[in-house]
Amino acid sequence: MKQTLLNDLELSLFCENLSMMLGAGIPSSEALELFCEDMEPGPFQEGVRRVLDCLEETHSLPGALRAAGCFPSYLSDMVEVGEIAGRTEQVLKRLAVYYEGQDALQKKLRSAVVYPTVMLVLMTAVMLFLVFEVLPVFSGVYAQLAGDLTGSSVGYMSVAKGVAWAVLVITLVLAVLLLVGLQMMKRPRGLQRLAALAQRLPLTKGVAYQVSLARFTSALSTFLASGVDTDRAMAVSSEMVDHPLLRAKLTRCRERMETGEGLAQAIYAEKVFPSLYARMLVSGFQSGSGEESLARLTRLFAEESDRQIDGALSTVEPGLAAFLTLSVGVILLAVMLPLIGIMGAIG
């Protein structure tokens, strides 16, 4: 039976706690046992327990992580690299930071979808009230005051009903799509499909590229800080990228590196990073502080991702508010015009 992968927050907690215990000189098996005892019953505890059981059979932490089935291959591969280099504790610390950043990014993306969804649900409720409560009342009032509506009055009421139904359908469809999107974000395959969609939409394609760039930089930084050589770090990190434009640039970078060009120079030549940041990386590698430069770029790109997501939200929020205000205004104006005509005829 295929096990469900632990989420990013759980992976971060696992790596952080295991790193601290290993740093205190506690063996892996004993550290996992202590970790299980302090946890609440649930999928997280079950996953750690499976690692402990597999560790007793394989006597290898990376092998146990793979056999447990609830940890991503990236984590187990990194732990194996750290174990070979004698830097398991340091690698786990880097992984804890990496998955903490991924968790923060996922939460940011979810919040970016939740807010428009709530707005659209409220808009749908308003339009339902107008269509099924307000408009029938006005139609009844007009029928009592002036008999069946004729001429321009009929036209105004038709406009009101047409606009109301059109807006209702639009908001309802968008709300359903966003609700489906929220459910898809809970599954890895759903996230991949949403990411592919975001890469094609004008409003989100810039954000999608920046998010992919931040993830790539974070993975690359983690690999290099763990002692992995640049060729392997670049190869594995680029395989984790699903954005087609960024992936194509990284493929060309790897081809340059195969001819003997350095990592930073290849990234600069293929314009993977903005020119200012690419120069910073080149300078860092030339001065022997490439890992520090890459770690700083990881933070900068994560912050830029947050800013772009906030920017997209700041565009959607007033847009939805203006759409609702304009729609309700047109409907109410079309409803009130026949009443003005009737009152003028009576006067």
pLDDT band at 145 (very low <50, low <70, confident <90, very high): low
pLDDT value at residue 240: 78
Q: Is the pLDDT of residue 191 over 50?
A: yes
**Over 70: is that where the pLDDT of 203 sits?**
yes
Domain holding 38, by residue range, is: 8-71
pLDDT band at 73 (very low <50, low <70, confident <90, very high): confident
CA torsion angle for 201, 107, 2, 89 (degrees, to 10)? Answer: 120
| Residue that wins the pLDDT comparison between 9 and 106 | 9
CA angle 69, 74, 79 (to 5 degrees): 90
Q: Given pLDDT bands bounded at 50, 70 and 90, which one contains residue 241?
A: confident
Query: Do residues 219 and 303 share a domain?
Result: yes
Does residue 93 form part of some domain?
no
Based on the fold, state whether residues 214 and 292 are members of the same structural domain: yes
Quick check: 127 pLDDT over 70? yes
Residues 302 and 324 in one domain: no
260 Rama sector, left if φ>0, alpha if ψ -120 to 50, beta otherwise: left
Q: Residue 240 phi/psi, 5° resolution?
A: -85, -5
* The residue type at 336: M
In a domain, 86, yes or no: no
Split into its structural domains, the chain has a count of 3
The answer to whether residue 54 sits within a structural domain is yes
Asked if the structure places residue 242 within a domain, the reply is yes
With cut-offs at 50, 70 and 90, classify the pLDDT of residue 249.
very high
In which band, very low, low, confident or very high, does the pLDDT at 1 lie, cut at 50, 70 and 90? Answer: very low
**Residue bearing the bigger pLDDT, 185 or 244:** 244
| Cα distance between residue 266 and residue 257, in whole Å | 7
Quickly state the pLDDT bin for 256 (edges 50, 70, 90).
very high
- pLDDT higher than threshold 70 for residue 344: no
Residues 210, 122 share a domain:
no
* Residue with tokens 């089935």, as numbered in its chain: 69
pLDDT above 70 as % of the chain: 90
Pair 179, 323 in one domain:
yes
Mean pLDDT, residues 292-297: 87
**In the predicted structure, residue 58 carries a pLDDT above the cut 50:** yes
Mean pLDDT confidence for 305-316: 79
pLDDT(208) > 80: yes
* Dihedral angle computed from the Cα positions of residues 330, 336, 338 and 342, in that order, rounded to the nearest 10 degrees: -160
Can you spell out the DSSP letters for 177-215?
HHHHHHHHTTSHHHHHHHHHHHTTSTTTHHHHHHHHHHH
Same domain, 240 and 281: yes
Q: pLDDT digits over 151-190, tens only?
A: 566 667 777 778 888 888 888 888 888 888 778 777 767 7
* Residue 275 sits in the same domain as residue 326: no
Count Cβ atoms within 10 A of the Cβ of residue 187 and give its class: 0-12 exposed, 13-18 middle, 19 or more buried.
Answer: exposed
In this prediction, residue 146 carries a pLDDT of 56
Average pLDDT over residues 228-254: 87
Q: What is the pLDDT of residue 345?
A: 56
210 and 274 assigned to the same domain: yes
Structure tokens at 155: 């036209």
The predicted model gives 328-333 an average pLDDT of 80
Please give the pLDDT value at position 219: 82
pLDDT at 93 over 70: yes
In terms of domains, do 255 and 286 share one?
yes
Closest CA to 76 of 226, 257, 301: 226
Asked if the structure places residue 56 within a domain, the reply is yes
Q: Are residues 241 and 266 in the same domain?
A: yes
Does one domain contain both 131 and 216? no
**pLDDT greater than 70 at residue 148:** no
Q: Which of 293, 323, 290, 289 lies closest to 122 in space, CA to CA? A: 323
Q: How far apart are CA 171 and CA 163, in angstroms?
A: 12
Average pLDDT, the chain: 81
The rounded distance, in Å, linking the Cα atoms of 251 and 272 is 11
- Whether residue 254 is contained in a domain is answered as yes
Q: What does the pLDDT read at residue 250?
A: 92
* Rounded Cα distance, 199 and 72, in Å: 24
pLDDT > 70? residue 77:
yes
Q: Which two tokens stand for residue 334?
A: 């079309």
The CATH number linked to 248 is 1.20.81.30
170 and 138 fall within a common domain? yes
- 198 belongs to a structural domain: no
92, 19 Cβ separation under 8 angstroms: yes
Is 76 part of any domain? no
Query: Helix crossing, 135-146 with 151-184: angle to 10°?
Result: 170
Nearby residues of 210 by Cβ (< 8 Å), 6 or more positions away: 301, 304, 305, 308
Quote the DSSP letter at residue 42. Answer: S
Q: Is the pLDDT of residue 48 over 90?
A: no
